[in-house]
Structure 1
Amino acid sequence: MAKIAIDAGHGGADPGAVYQGRQEKDDNLKLALAVGERLQNAGTDVFYTRTEDIYQTPYQKAMAANESGADFLVSLHRNSSEYPNQYTGVETLVYDNKGEKAEVAEAINSGLENIGFRNNGVKIRPGLVILRRSRMPAVLVETGFINSEEDNRLFDEEFDRIADSIADSILQTVAKNEDAVQEREEVYYRVQTGAFRNRENALRQQEKLSAEGYPAFLVENNGYYLVQVGAFRKLENAVRMEAALRENGYQTYITT
């Protein structure tokens, strides 16, 4: 299961956007903890850049996420504009519109649109430190405008649905990609009985093994002819095969 870093934007001496006493840093932290709780309840390992009202630079947050070993980073923010009620809607920012981060960004926007927010799209922002400095795929979510009465109403009245939607978007997209990677990188264990420069010598050992009932085959690698037996998904099966081959006098080791 992937490890997710959750960043609550701003904090401490940096309140972020402010509107009629409402501070962005507070909304961000409340939502970050709620999304993280849902991810943890689904069995996901979660790292928070902050869980209280403290100040960190975006660089410090990116470095903390990197050091945590997280596989994906979601930074939660709220937008603002020059005049109250000038704009509404959600948007998600990415370093570039490629790969897993783009998929998660689209999923988050679509989910929040279904709740009632205007979908302002996915925007490319390579200059943002939290996106540029993180080593894992990352998105920055602007969850509505803090100086929009309509967006604040949605944020407050539909808060649980918002947290559910963001968590589900992360889980579904990251899990899908994780499964695809595991399929591409599926490991098979083999028992090797010999490595020969001469192909004829390798063939003789392969034929001997086959005559004894072992599923032996040749692999050519860097000028050597490798004689290997079996292709096991479970290591314990390869160990049993190795023990049988050793008992019959072969010098063996397990490879993948």
Structure 2
Amino acid sequence: MATKIVVDAGHGGSNPGAVYQGRRESDDALRLAMAVGRILEENGYDVSYTRTTDTTQSVGQKAAIANEEGADLFVSIHRNAAEYPGKYSGVQTLIYDDSGIKKEMAQNINANLERLGFRNAGVSIRPNLVVLNSTQMPALLVEAGFIDSTTDNQLFDSRFQAIAQGIADGIMETLENQNVSGGGNMTGNSMGNNMGNNMMGNGQNCPVCPSMPEGTGPEQELYRVQAGAFRDRQNADNLLSLLENDGFPAYIIYQDGLYKVQVGAYSRLSNAIAMEREVRQKGYNTYITT
């Protein structure tokens, strides 16, 4: 049986992730995730995707997809962003902890992308991220350059296929070093387990799993629950991590010079009110915005 890998395109739909000069993280992530997945498939791996179109998913839903697929490995593709455009550049890979195969794979991916011209920002341990702590298999989150860095965007666009190849090669090289090939089974303790304590008994890790708006477009007004707005990206990231750890479908948008931390996006005001009530019950100060 071929090794099963779930490739996740970060964010999506009403949650674009970081946005800079009209460029959306969710779009870049989807293109790159599909390209990485195709390379893995061509090399004999059994690949599934959390999304193949611009659809909305909570981080809990992404983790649940990987768990339901019975995946051996979960790789989430993202772009990074700084508190001030152009402040940082480089690639970084996030993992739950440094046990098992995860750290070696993250280092291999970063090294491959560094050879393409990216600054290597290293491997970071982030146990509070839902897609890393609620997946039942080794999981990595790859930050493929900063979306607000001109240098990184030029590399992303001009070396796109090489970037996809570098990520895929980092995955495959590591698996081969662990005596696991595309035609083999994931066995042994080296693969670890990232299951966190916040997984609900029904396989979903969010206390609220709302229905997201259908058929949303640029002309449709959406109601969002806002939990904070910051000039400092790190403050926004800290709040985002807290919300994600509580299982909420939170995300950050950059608007009017502020990093705004929001939860959900609903075509019906009643759904936004219900979500705001749940978020407030967890102790967050919120209001509904459009």
**SS in structure 2 of the partner of residue 75 of structure 1:** strand
Which structure's CA Rg is the greater one? 1
Q: Which residue of 1 aligns with 2:211?
A: none
Structure 1 letter corresponding to 2:138 = P
1:9–1:75 contact (8 Å) kept in structure 2: yes
- Find the aligned partners of 2:141 and 2:179 in 1 and give their Cα distance: 21
Q: Which residue of 2 aligns with 1:71?
A: 72
Structure 2 letter corresponding to 1:16 = G
- Find the aligned partners of 1:79 and 1:154 in 2 and give their Cα distance: 14
Q: Which residue of 2 aligns with 1:28?
A: 29
TM-fit CA distance, 1:176: 2.8
TM-fit CA distance, 1:97: 1.2
Q: Which residue of 2 aligns with 1:95?
A: 96
1:115–1:158 contact (8 Å) kept in structure 2: yes
Q: Which residue of 2 aligns with 1:59?
A: 60
**Aligned length, in residue pairs:** 185
The residue correspondences of 1:217-232 to structure 2 (distance < 5 A) are none
**SS in structure 2 of the partner of residue 88 of structure 1:** coil
Where in structure 1 are there 5+ consecutive unaligned residues? Answer: 186-256
TM-fit CA distance, 1:84: 1.3
**SS in structure 2 of the partner of residue 4 of structure 1:** strand
Tell me if 1:167 matches 2:160: no
1:71–1:137 contact (8 Å) kept in structure 2: yes
The residue correspondences of 1:160-199 to structure 2 (distance < 5 A) are 160-179=161-180
Structure 2 letter corresponding to 1:130 = V
- Find the aligned partners of 2:81 and 2:43 in 1 and give their Cα distance: 32
Q: Which residue of 2 aligns with 1:8?
A: 9
- Find the aligned partners of 2:68 and 2:169 in 1 and give their Cα distance: 25
- Over the aligned positions, Cα root-mean-square deviation in angstroms equals 1.8
Where in structure 2 are there 5+ consecutive unaligned residues? Answer: 189-290
Greater relative contact order (Cα 8 A, min sep 6): structure 1 or 2?
Answer: 2
Q: Which residue of 2 aligns with 1:82?
A: 83
Structure 2 letter corresponding to 1:21 = G
1:78–1:143 contact (8 Å) kept in structure 2: yes
TM-fit CA distance, 1:172: 1.4
- Find the aligned partners of 2:159 and 2:173 in 1 and give their Cα distance: 21
**SS in structure 1 of the partner of residue 87 of structure 2:** coil
Q: Which residue of 1 aligns with 2:241?
A: none
TM-score computed with the length of structure 2 as normaliser: 0.62
TM-score computed with the length of structure 1 as normaliser: 0.70
Q: Which residue of 2 aligns with 1:116?
A: 117
1:6–1:74 contact (8 Å) kept in structure 2: yes
Structure 2 letter corresponding to 1:137 = P
TM-fit CA distance, 1:174: 1.7
Q: Which residue of 1 aligns with 2:284?
A: none
Moved over 6 A (4+): none
The residue correspondences of 1:144-163 to structure 2 (distance < 5 A) are 144-163=145-164
- Find the aligned partners of 1:45 and 1:58 in 2 and give their Cα distance: 22
1:2–1:174 contact (8 Å) kept in structure 2: no
- Find the aligned partners of 1:115 and 1:54 in 2 and give their Cα distance: 30
Q: Which residue of 2 aligns with 1:49?
A: 50
Could you list the per-position Cα deviations for residues 25-58 of structure 1 after superposition, in whole angstroms to 9, with x for gaps in the alignment?
0000000000000000111100100000001111
Q: Which residue of 2 aligns with 1:18?
A: 19
**SS in structure 2 of the partner of residue 127 of structure 1:** coil
TM-fit CA distance, 1:15: 0.3
TM-fit CA distance, 1:179: 3.5
Higher relative helix content: 1
Structure 2 letter corresponding to 1:120 = A
Could you list the per-position Cα deviations for residues 139-181 of structure 1 after superposition, in whole angstroms to 9, with x for gaps in the alignment?
0000000000000000000001000010111111123324499
- Find the aligned partners of 2:145 and 2:5 in 1 and give their Cα distance: 22
Identity of aligned pairs, percent? 55
